[in-house]
């Protein structure tokens, strides 16, 4: 089983997800996308699997910092370009479990995602 958790280390939701994975003895790699970055290809995979509206976090401080031109006429390619520029626009965490994706964190959703 291959599991990668994408996020930023100081995010409370990412911390909860990490603790949950550790409590379930699920080994995972952590990818700090502020430090390690995100590629357009990676974001495209997530957006194709989850929908760009679910990947783009419109409640973040990064979103509020954007100007109106950046926020208008959104589509998947524009959203991906914004997230490549500012990875903190991604709703965290994103988890990759053998090519299956999930973002955000809730105990019950993770339990279902990992068939526990």
What are the tokens at 41?
A: 């290809």
DSSP classification of residue 39? -
Q: Where are the domains of the chain?
A: 3-113
Question: Strand 3-7 to strand 100-103: parallel, antiparallel, or no bridges (unpaired)?
Answer: unpaired
Cα–Cα separations (whole angstroms), residue 86 to 25, 92, 97: 32, 13, 24
47 is catalytic: no
* Span 55-80, pLDDT tens digits: 999 999 999 999 999 999 999 999 99
Residue whose C-alpha is closest to residue 80's, from 45, 31, 33: 45
Residue 1 has what pLDDT?
77
CATH number, span 3-113: 3.40.30.10
| 8 Å CB contact between 46 and 74 | no
Residue 98 banded pLDDT, cuts 50, 70, 90:
very high
The active-site residue, picked from 3, 11, 66, 86, is 11
């Amino acid at each position: 089983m291959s599991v990668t958790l994408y996020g930023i280390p100081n995010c409370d939701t990412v911390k909860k997800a990490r603790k949950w994975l550790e409590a379930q003895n699920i080994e995972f790699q952590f990818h700090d996308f502020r430090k390690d970055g995100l590629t357009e290809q990676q974001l495209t995979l997530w957006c194709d699997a989850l929908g760009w509206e679910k990947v783009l976090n419109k409640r973040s401080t990064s979103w509020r910092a954007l100007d109106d031109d950046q926020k208008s006429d959104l589509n998947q390619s524009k959203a991906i370009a914004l997230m490549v520029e500012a990875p903190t626009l991604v709703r965290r965490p994103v988890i990759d479990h053998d090519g299956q994706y999930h973002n955000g964190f809730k105990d019950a959703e993770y339990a279902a995602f990992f068939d526990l």
